[in-house]
Chain A
Amino acid sequence: MSAIAKDVLKGWKVLVVDDEPDSLDVARRILTIYGAEVQTGTNGQEGLQIVRKWRPDFIISDLSMPVMDGWGFLFELKDDRSTTEIPVIALTAHAMIGDRERGIAAGFHNYMTKPLTVKTFMHDLLRLLVDIPELSHHFTPELTKEG
């Protein structure tokens, strides 16, 4: 695990949406360290504006946010044909039993819980990304094997 290559996310465009500046910052830092091109928004509304201008490979979104929460954001994305294919991964502090199931049922591609550490976050993220067929072109054969 310790040997995750620093360029594992090189060439990826990732949008992170979170109303907590610290959480947003931690996620942005980690993703950037591993090579991803990251843009951020502090609510669903901002997220939507970014998506329309700058199409990410996938989106990591918090759920509880002002203006437009994660659920509304997901709904708008799925409602728009041009954005409906973009995988959205929930990253939330809602860790009660049933929360994860509700998220998957709503259409989130997957569900990760806070708090995160570099190790757990990257490990979980890579495992999720490998399973998304639309993103397979981003992975080298070695990485796929490791995942």
Chain B
Amino acid sequence: MERKTQAVSQRAPNSGILKRLRNLPVFSKLYLTILVVVVVTLGVTGVLVASVTTSQQIAVQSDSLRDVAVTFTRSLDTVLAQDVVGRIEVLSLSRSLRESVEAQNSAPQSLDDITILDTQWRGASDSDALIAGVLNNELADELREFKTAVPNHVEVFATDAAGALIASTNRTSDYYQADEEWWQATWNGGQGAIYIGQPEFDESSNSLALTVAIPIRAQSGASAGSTIGVLRSTYLFTSLVDLFASANDGQRAALHLYLGADIRVGEQTGSSEASAFTLLDADEQAEVAAFPASTSIQTSYENTDNIVYRLNVADVSEYPFIDALGWFVVAHVSTADAFAVIAQSNLVIVISALLGLGFAAVLGFGVSRLIVSPIHQLTELAKKFSAGEMDTRVPETTRDELGVLAHSFNQMADTVTLRERDLNELNRTLEARVQERTAELRKANALAQESVRLKSEFLSTMSHELRTPLNAMLGYTSLMTEGLAGDFDDDTLDMIERIHKNGQRLLLLINEVLDLARIEAGRMEIVSAPFDLHDMAGQWKSQMEVLAQEKGLDFTVTVDDKLPAQIVGDKDRITQIAVSLLSNAFKFTEKGAVDLTITGRTNSWVISVADTGIGIPPHALNYIFDEFRQVDGSSKRMYGGSGLGLAIVRNLCRLLNGKVSVTSEVGLGSVFTVTLPLEVSVAEMPAEMAVE
């Protein structure tokens, strides 16, 4: 139960917002929806793109760096193969070169001789015959021709199979070359192999000098293909600058070429001009050596955060002579530069998002207006229509749902207009009919009132006209019976008394008939007022006592003590009822008693009159209260009375909102019971009730 309550209370504010949203105008709903959808879409797209770019930028950069590195390395490879090695190779195929080498090989010198000559070579001047012999022979001329034609090859010389010089373009430091590392690698135990040595920095040309050597091979005879000597050139690698320039052209990435152990080419990042060479210290060498090959890493490089890609030249090169050099290329781009692209693309995304948002705002506004304004128009027109402008119709301009709605509205308006017209017509007829009926009713009512007036006028006149002759009758006879009009003999007096009594009876009859007529004409007015119950009962007792004494009957009147002393009612009518019942009781009782008791019930009080008279047979109980009925005709003669008394009692009881009933047994007596509603005057109420 508790938990449920919590849930409800948590839901309450939501439903409040929902309710507020529900009550927004349609335009706002539409517009908001469009904006929310666009904003959410753009937001999600932006976040996705941004996150993807960030995570993959390193890989993308890595590819880019690799391309740069590979392109450069291929160029380098080509230059080495064609310009550095290829030219010398072509030269090595020279017939005169081979013949000169073979000629020297055919007269081999001993090692000792060569050593002697070497010593001579070092110490001799240029004019020495040995030196002149090497520098000024035909082959030397050919070599110099070559050198002139290919200026990067600055020093070219050839040795025989023993390593002794045959011809040279320049005076070399030694005559004997076979003890040199490059010569042995090229000679390769007679197998022959192309050799390129680690470059050396040549300050005079501000470029790198490469030692390149190739075996000279026999071309014909049984020894064709075998190594007969070595041709060597010193190559000034000036084109490396151009290589960097073309490799770096339009690239954000910068390249460094690491040659041998300690030379780095490409000093200035991203600059095509510089092709400076740097001799690396131990720390720099260690740093670079730590880069894994063929993998992009993000690391500190040249003291800034970089994305770095290292490519071993050997991995790309087709030439085995390059493999041994251990050269590699480092392509790198500063993280700041790389991510500037992301920043840029993010900026583009943000700008396009904003543009999209603006576009959506404008378009959404337009679309919302487009949808809502016909609804507005419809609403306004509907208001006009309901305000009573029945000829209002909506223009049906479009064929969409709104158009259908407008059409339906117009149809409805037609129907309503038609119905209104019918209704008005009906109203008019109805009004006329109502007026007609009202007039009829008024007439009928006037007639009824006239009839009532006539009836009561008749009653009044009847009363007056019947009383007037009785006045004379009773007046004169009373004078005579009272002995105020002279003396009469007993017989005459008896007759006069009979006349008087009959006059009284006639008066009683007239009164009763008039009472009954008044009750039935609705002219009997009931006057409710407080009265004392005990006083009233006392009056009854003293008024009727005479009748009891005349017949020698016991007569008691008892009032329940629990009843309030004062009650509210029409005392005169109640008295009329009681007197009538008591008169009857005395009339029909010859011996015994007549007892009147007043008792209280919850909301009523009861007057019962019990006698020990002749009683009423069962069949008569049904009509005893009807007008002019007594038990039978003979009783009327015997007991007198109009037969109207009980009818009046019954009618009076009804008028007082009470009732009368009778129980009886022939020969034993009758009990008439009148029940009346109990009303208590305010003054008589218990204190607490009065306060309320």
Contacts and interface: CB of A to CB of B under 8 A. Distances in A.
A17 to B, nearest CB: 15
Nearest to B480: A118
Interface string A52-95: 00000000000010000000000000000000000000001111
A-B CB proximity, top 10 nearest: A26-B475, A22-B472, A117-B478, A93-B467, A115-B471, A114-B471, A115-B470, A118-B478, A93-B464, A115-B474
Contact of A22 (B471, B500, B523): B471
Contacts of A105: none
Nearest to A95: B463
A42 to B, nearest CB: 14
Nearest to B478: A117
Interface of A: 20, 22-23, 25-27, 29-30, 33, 64, 92-98, 113-119, 121
A23 B467 CA distance: 11
Interface of B: 456, 459-460, 463-465, 467-479, 482, 484-485, 500, 503, 507, 514, 518, 523-525
A97 B459 CA distance: 11
Contact of B475 (A64, A95, A97, A116): A116
A66 B523 CA distance: 28
A115 B467 contact: yes
Contact of A115 (B482, B507, B523, B524): B507
A64 to B, nearest CB: 7
Given A116-B474, A117-B475, A93 B524 contact: no
Contacts of B470: 114-115
A92 B359 CA distance: 108
Given A22-B472, A115-B474, 18 more contacts: A20-B472, A22-B476, A23-B472, A25-B472, A33-B484, A94-B460, A95-B463, A95-B464, A113-B467, A115-B471, A115-B472, A115-B475, A116-B471, A116-B474, A117-B475, A118-B475, A118-B482, A121-B475
A63 to B, nearest CB: 9
13 contacts: A20-B472, A26-B476, A33-B479, A92-B464, A94-B463, A94-B464, A95-B464, A96-B460, A96-B518, A97-B525, A115-B503, A116-B474, A118-B478
Nearest to A99: B460
B479 A118 contact: yes
A95 B468 CA distance: 11
A60 B320 CA distance: 171
A116 B471 CA distance: 6
A124 B611 CA distance: 34
Contact of A23 (B459, B468, B507): B468
A29 B471 CA distance: 13
Nearest to B476: A26
A121 B468 CA distance: 15
Contacts of B467: 93, 95, 113-115
Nearest to B460: A96
Residue picked from A20, A22, A64, A114, most chain B C-beta under 10 Å: A114
A93 B471 contact: yes
Contacts of A20: 468, 471-472
B464 A30 contact: no
Interface of B is mostly: helix
B463 A96 contact: yes
B536 to A, nearest CB: 20
Contacts of B503: 115
Nearest to B527: A97
A115 B471 CA distance: 4
B468 A93 contact: yes
A9 to B, nearest CB: 13
Nearest to A62: B468
Given A97-B524, A115-B467, A118-B484, A23 B475 contact: yes
Contact of A64 (B464, B514, B518): B464
Contacts of A23: 468, 471-472, 475
A119 B460 contact: no
Residue picked from B476, B478, B503, most chain A C-beta under 10 Å: B478
Nearest to B507: A115
Contacts of A117: 474-475, 477-478, 500
Contacts of A119: 478, 482
Contacts of B479: 26, 29-30, 33, 118
Residue picked from A20, A26, A117, most chain B C-beta under 10 Å: A117
Contacts of B463: 93-96
Given A33-B484, A114-B467, A96 B475 contact: no
Residue picked from B465, B475, B482, B524, most chain A C-beta under 10 Å: B475
A119 B484 CA distance: 11
Nearest to B504: A117
A59 B166 CA distance: 196
A110 B524 CA distance: 23
Contacts of B507: 115
Contacts of A27: 475
A96 B469 CA distance: 17
B460 A30 contact: no
Nearest to A20: B468
A110 B254 CA distance: 143
Contacts of A92: 464
A16 to B, nearest CB: 12
A91 B498 CA distance: 26
B460 A26 contact: no
A91 to B, nearest CB: 9
Nearest to A96: B460
Contact of A97 (B468, B472, B477, B518): B518
Contacts of B473: 115
Contacts of A116: 471, 474-475, 478
A92 B468 CA distance: 8
Residue picked from B469, B485, B507, B514, most chain A C-beta under 10 Å: B469
Residue picked from B471, B474, B476, B484, most chain A C-beta under 10 Å: B471
A115 B464 CA distance: 10
Contacts of B468: 20, 23, 93, 114
A116 B463 CA distance: 14
A115 B472 CA distance: 7
Contacts of A95: 463-464, 467
B458 to A, nearest CB: 11
A112 to B, nearest CB: 11
